[in-house]
Structure 1
């Protein structure tokens, strides 16, 4: 595979040596491997590469070249970032440097046009109007709070003040895949501009359910965004952003995995797993600028309503299934004061608050095969364990960060920050089960539990600029990250079923069961130490970023399936450590040829973690996972790519662009016991683009070598399952700008 990639790059260089008569010396080619998009930020006064933070920036051109159309398509491109594409859009697990979260509170934050997305059920959405991406690695908790323990991803849409016209995009591909989007940008006057976007995507699915004889994972979604910017005064800006998206998909195409042969079978479930979601986001950014500072006020509202149905035994047997419905409303408010840049002393301070109401209705249904296998109720045909849970969460924070420039000598700066973060969580639960037996058995669990957390999140960073930052900088930092605790409400069915199995002739109520200790998990903390450099060389034709880090994490939240197989649960590992390094480089070889490469290494292991599993006698026993690798964390991420562009003068075709990208991750351990793995693999993607005035046609391919790999693996009810990665795809995009 690597030989194929090197061959493609050598071919691009060889073509360049023969192309002198095609490309003029004064070419108008605008292909740049590193396009710096300057976006105003409420909290940062400089571009991120000028700050003491490890960051990867992806421009819109790079998004198109690397075929980045969602968060889950960034694997390998950003060092030490891993976002597995599995399950459904409900499951958006993001891992950076050994820190991540499969369920519950995210450990990597997401902002869209400076509006926070609190819940990761909303992370996976359409990228039709996204202009640029910034990925900050390492804790950003001092300025961004509990969701930014592992890092931060910032997305930006196009400003209707800087871009005018209408973009139409049509796409068709294999596996019955189609998409369309239409976006209009209009500048009404020097004071008002707006944009409107609409899109629709459809896929027939990639994996067959052989039991139902239909695709397991068809997908469709549609929606749009309206953004308007008003400048009533020269120093006042109001930016309103409203979007809605509806998704409907098949999900969870898990298949049995044979450890002996290393083969993954076909999806075969007797019930069809599905997921749909309606997602509304609205945000208002108000920015007021004076000579000495900028005040920003950001208000947002998010409404999420979804339904997940899962055949939870993942087999053709009629064992058990779950239906989960969520209704979620989130309101956030943040006020930030930021000093004017390029002064001896700079500061940013502010206050943040949020409230999230969430109602979850999550009944678990036990089928006839399960009831017969249990040998307790052979006459009962089905059993449902309904459950309704209200889990409101609120939080508030105060933060301040000071930066002292040119201390001791010119070019040396120090940043000191502190955040006081408070969060309060609560759960009200109502679940029950009744079996018509002799005597009749009823189990009812109702009640509530609550917790609160108060954290101080400090940060200290030193930075030295080379030649007034014209050549780059070197930096070192220490920071603390934090992720709040919570409740495993999926475990109520497991708890009820366990009580009924233990004593079928008794009644249970919440008064004689310790529910809280069974469902709660504790907060997670990490201290991060890192050093790195940003370099800009050869008149910015070569940019490079290097960093090394060590993260010491306590009470790390680990997600696993319950021993019974009746749901996922979060548990706390006592202590883990993550050590690693990362490097990325982008080079403009000529006006036509550009290359990029990145590599990330993470060594994340448990230092103190005693887990519990069922042995062959179905007894719960303790297992010591010390020195085992933390699951879901790839040891390596890597990317190698190149682009070559022919530019033609006085020709029907203005530009012909060839692009090749090889992205990979691995090895990945899927379980704490490290007995289920995915070895390192790479995917070869490519694109040929043709530009003709206002029309652009792209012929693209993904996983061109049809590499077989797994995106997820787990063990449930003594069975091992995998989800296969998507096979080779090909298609064509048509863009028209007018």
Structure 2
């Protein structure tokens, strides 16, 4: 431990002295700009749109020329901030958060206060022109990445449903423009290990391909105090193939496939003390785990005609996973959940875009999109010893007298039928029952299996026009018709088995409730977009009004609670005659009215928003500085909120708040200096997301209570986000050492409320990182560190009433880490 602290101090001191100290700068031969030196003419911020040319099948202009708040990151940027996946990148993107919730299964994203932990996502993800359909596949290991674009605000006109908050576009390296073999080996804290190998080959001017694979793993930071296992260890691996063929200058084809597998211990939630803010180590009875197989494959076809570009994209995607979670997160044996998902999905999209020469008055895009998803979820809930013992203590005084009285009445009736007087028959029957062994309830067993099929189909038609009203002023008009068809076919049940000794014989009587049905619904939306962009020599200013949309659907998390409430009502004598329990099993019957109530309970409505935004993209001081600034206001109706299911609290469900709003600003500065040796970036965002109208019905002590959350902050949304990084490159130009780069980075966020009542939260916190790279030409050596100050913070917190008492739990953020990477290119 002492050596680690010394290493942390050494790294911090080195960065402070070399990167930030004026004396340190002077010592390495950099003139003080205040004392007369000026920025070299070659110092300019690299415009990724110009350097990394990416064909966009829909947009008519480069990203920073469009009326949208956006951020772009190159492979070099990802290295500077140490981001290996989208979750780690999100900490450096304004108004965007994708926190670590304990596994790659949970990939919740929030942009401008819009998002949720379950069901319909608020942010879309495209990889090499293909949308990733399963939210469970969003959180992937990304490698061989060339560029990442993050677009904030609704992108629904061109990209459809579930891009209400924004979207992420990821591009891998193009083998036509990048050749050779990249190999990366990494080792770090807690046996973090990483290996990547990708080969890029341009066979001819018409054909190129890339093929690669990776392995990534770590032993974890947190130990489960009950099982002794590392609660967050993981191993993952995968491979990727990309084939590109350009038979003519007009026609192009691309085929790719990306398979990944992950096996991890997950959900390292420890008990949270609300008074002190301290989070204990995980101590669940069952160690949570997650295993996932994913395949994303796609085909892109492009054709360049005389007056338009045609692009067709299709994909097939497959996901198969397994999750096991201890639902009480405690060292007691209450309940655990297992879930299996199997999903098949396909997409088709055809788009046409005008390709008029520069100066054309009308730039247009039109297209059609179709997707189909078939998802089967098996999600049984298991009730364990401590839960069944607790239920036994509750039910034994209720059930045992009912069973005894039923048998006593049967014996008494039989004796009266044999001519015994009623008074004497009762006494004799009681004696006979007692002599035979009586009636004694000895235990309870429970379970809640369920199978849910939730197919979804989506069809969209869209058009967007950009009119150059003047040489500097462009008007944007867009409209999309979006149709979604959602279904749920469910087969769910729950049972309570009562183990009893009846007249000297052991028997088990089952009280069961089973339901099955098919529900479907259609959702239609028109999604317009209006914008004005004024261009000038050093940038542009813009104003937009856009409509966002997330589809409605069905909660599968609700069924266990619905059915358990059925059983508990039956035990209380509200649904069935419990005297039947003495002689056999009982199945609770359901009426059409019951099924109508279930349909209302499990369904949630679409979320619709209007986004009003003004912003600017500026290139200042001869492009030595870029400034992106935006201010937004969003009105949200039927905001989808993930809350704990009422009753026994077996999981999260989606519900709709009445109305809410989100307002804020985003600012990003990026600069270059000292002949492009010094690169830096600074960003800040502020988000104020609140409920205007939100009345929630909860059950407290068995009675319904209406809670008013109007005026409260929307949970899981950071109010402030701040990020920065700075790199300085020292040119050595030696025979074996080319240059050395030193860099530092920081990301901070907070305050974050964890529930709708705003009763507990995470305060503002900051994380510091650093890296030092030595470029030897063939190989680059990178030493890096994260969370240099070992900041104590929580990435996520939750409450649970599984034990019938409200407990609070949190996932602690990773502590100090360091490692070394070797990167080869040959």
Aligned to 1:678: 762
SS at match of 1:440: strand
1:476 equivalent to 2:485? Answer: no
* Aligned-pair CA distance for 1:538: 2.0
Answer yes or no: is the 8 Å Cα contact 2:17–2:24 preserved in 1.
no
Where does residue 367 of structure 2 map in the other structure?
350
Cα distance, 1:206 vs structure 2: 1.4
DSSP 3-state at the match of 1:146: coil
| 1:555 corresponding residue in structure 2 | 638
**Stretch of structure 1 that moved more, 648-657 or 484-493:** 648-657
Tell me how far 1:693 sits from its aligned partner. 1.2
Match of 1:538 in 2: 621
- Bigger mean CA offset, 377-386 vs 199-208: 377-386
1:727 aligns with 2:815: yes
Kept in 2, the 8 Å contact 1:536–1:542? The answer is yes
Give the deviation of 1:382 after TM superposition. 3.5
Q: Tell me what 2:533 maps to.
A: 463
Closer/same/farther in 2, CA of residues 136 and 142 from structure 1, 3 Å limit: same
**Could you say if the C-alpha distance between residues 21 and 265 of structure 1 is closer, same or farther in structure 2, counting changes exceeding 3 Å?**
closer
- State yes or no: 1:612 paired with 2:629: no
Greater Cα offset, 98-107 or 347-356: 98-107
In the TM superposition, residue 510 of structure 1 has moved relative to its aligned partner by 4.5
Is 1:166–2:246 an aligned residue pair? no
Q: What is the correspondence of 1:385-400 to structure 2 with a 5 Å cutoff? A: 385-400=448-463
- Is 1:401 aligned with 2:452? no
- 1:511 is matched with which residue? 591
Residues 368 and 381 in structure 1, CA contact (< 8 A), matched pair in contact too: no
CA contact (8 A) 1:294 1:337 kept: yes
Query: In structure 1, how many angstroms separate the alpha carbons of the residues matched to 2:41 and 2:91?
Result: 31
For residues 360 and 433 of structure 1, the distance between their equivalents in structure 2, rounded to whole angstroms, comes to: 17
1:442 counterpart residue number? 512
Contact kept in structure 2, 1:445 and 1:509, CA below 8 Å:
no
**Contact residue 84 and residue 142 of structure 2 kept, 8 A:** yes
Paired residue for 2:385? 368
Partner of 2:657: 573
How far the C-alpha of 1:646 sits from its partner, in A, is 0.3
Give the CA deviation at 1:13. 4.8
Partner of 2:574: none
2:524 is the counterpart of 1:454: yes
8 Å CA contact 1:318–1:370 kept in 2: the answer is: yes
Show the counterpart of 2:797. Answer: 713
Aligned partner of 2:686 among 601, 619, 623: 601
Match of 1:11 in 2: 20
Instruction: Give the 3 Å change call, closer, same or farther, for CA 554–530 of structure 1 in structure 2.
Output: same
> What's the secondary structure of 1:644's corresponding residue?
strand
- Look up the SS of the partner of 1:102 in the other structure: coil
Residues 229 and 287, structure 2, Cα contact 8 Å, conserved in 1: no
Displacement, 1:433?
2.5
CA contact (8 A) 1:27 1:647 kept: no
Contact 1:446 1:509 in 2 (8 A): no
Q: What is the deviation of 1:641?
A: 1.8
Give yes or no for contact 2:39–2:673 (8 Å, CA) kept in 1: no
271 and 619 in structure 1: CA distance in 2 versus 1, 3 angstrom threshold: same
Contact 2:78 2:89 survives alignment (8 Å): no
In the TM superposition, what is the alpha-carbon distance from 1:432 to its structure 2 partner? Answer: 1.6
How far does the alpha carbon of each residue in 1:117-152 deviate from its partner, in whole angstroms, 9 at most, with x for none? Answer: 122111111111111100000000000001210001
Structure 2's unaligned 5+ residue stretches are 1-8, 32-37, 397-440, 499-507, 572-577, 579-585
Indicate which of 554, 562, 569 corresponds to 1:487.
554
| 1:499 alignment partner in structure 2 | 566
Mapped partners of 2:764, 2:244: distance in 1: 46
| Higher alpha-carbon Rg | 2
Query: How far off is 1:612 after superposition?
Result: 2.8
Relative to structure 1, is the Cα distance of residues 275 and 76 closer, same or farther in structure 2, using a 3 angstrom cutoff?
closer
| Distance apart, 1:436 and its partner CA | 3.3
In the TM superposition, what whole-angstrom CA distance separates every residue of 1:390-444 from its partner, at most 9, and x where no partner exists? 1110010100001101x1x320000100000000000000012233337531211
Shift, 1:496, TM fit: 1.0
1:620 offset after TM fit, Å? 3.1
Q: Distance in 1 between matches of 2:278 and 2:210?
A: 49
CA distance in 1, matches of 2:631, 2:716: 21
Partner of 1:20: 29
Task: Name 1:109's counterpart in structure 2.
Answer: 124
For residue 261 of structure 1, report the CA deviation from its aligned partner. Answer: 2.0
Mapped to 1, the partners of 2:395 and 2:42 lie a distance apart of 74
Would you say how many aligned residue pairs link Structure 1 and Structure 2?
A: 730
**1:326 aligned onto 2:375:** no
- Closer, same or farther: CA 10–64 of 1 in aligned 2, 3 Å: closer
Q: TM-score, normalised by structure 1?
A: 0.96
CA distance in 2, matches of 1:64, 1:509: 61
**Cα distance between partner residues in 2 of 1:28 and 1:308:** 56
Indicate if the aligned counterparts of 1:474 and 1:534 stay in contact, CA closer than 8 A: yes
Say which structure is richer in strand. 1
- Decide whether the 8 Å contact of 2:18 with 2:25 is kept in 1: no
Residue aligning to 1:100: 115
Residues 615-654 of structure 1 deviation map (CA, whole Å, 9 limit, x = unaligned): 3x34331110011000000000111221111001234211
Q: Is the partner of 2:560 in helix, strand or coil? A: helix
Q: CA deviation at 1:511?
A: 3.4
Tell me the residue number matched to 2:607. Answer: 524
The alignment's TM-score, normalised by the length of structure 2, stands at 0.86
Which secondary structure does the structure 1 equivalent of 2:564 belong to?
Answer: helix
The farther-off stretch of 386-395 and 33-42 is 33-42
Residues 363 and 386, structure 1, Cα contact 8 Å, conserved in 2: yes
Distance between the aligned counterparts of 1:684 and 1:715, measured in 2?
29
Residue pairs, 1:653-672, within 5 angstroms: 653-672=737-756
Identify the residue that residue 197 of structure 2 maps to in structure 1: 182
**Residue equivalent to 2:446:** 383
Aligned to 2:434: none
Q: Distance in 1 between matches of 2:73 and 2:269?
A: 32
In the alignment, the residues of structure 1 paired with residue 16 and residue 639 of structure 2 have an alpha-carbon distance, to the nearest angstrom, of 43
For residues 647 and 269 of structure 1, the distance between their equivalents in structure 2, rounded to whole angstroms, comes to 53
The equivalent position to 1:73 in structure 2, one of 68, 77, 88, is: 88
Q: How does 1:213-252 map to 2 (within 5 A)?
A: 213-252=228-267
Tell me how far apart the structure 2 counterparts of residues 13 and 123 of structure 1 sit (CA, whole Å).
Answer: 43
CA contact (8 A) 1:365 1:385 kept: yes
Of 673-682 and 641-650, more deviation after overlay is shown by 641-650
Q: CA deviation at 1:6?
A: 10
Whether 2:509 is the aligned partner of 1:424: answer no
Secondary structure, in 3 states, of the residue corresponding to 1:61?
helix
Cα distance between partner residues in 2 of 1:713 and 1:732: 32
Asked if the contact 1:611/1:624 (under 8 Å) is kept, the reply is: yes
Question: 2-side partners of 1:294 and 1:508: how far apart?
Answer: 61
Q: Secondary structure at the match of 2:247?
A: strand
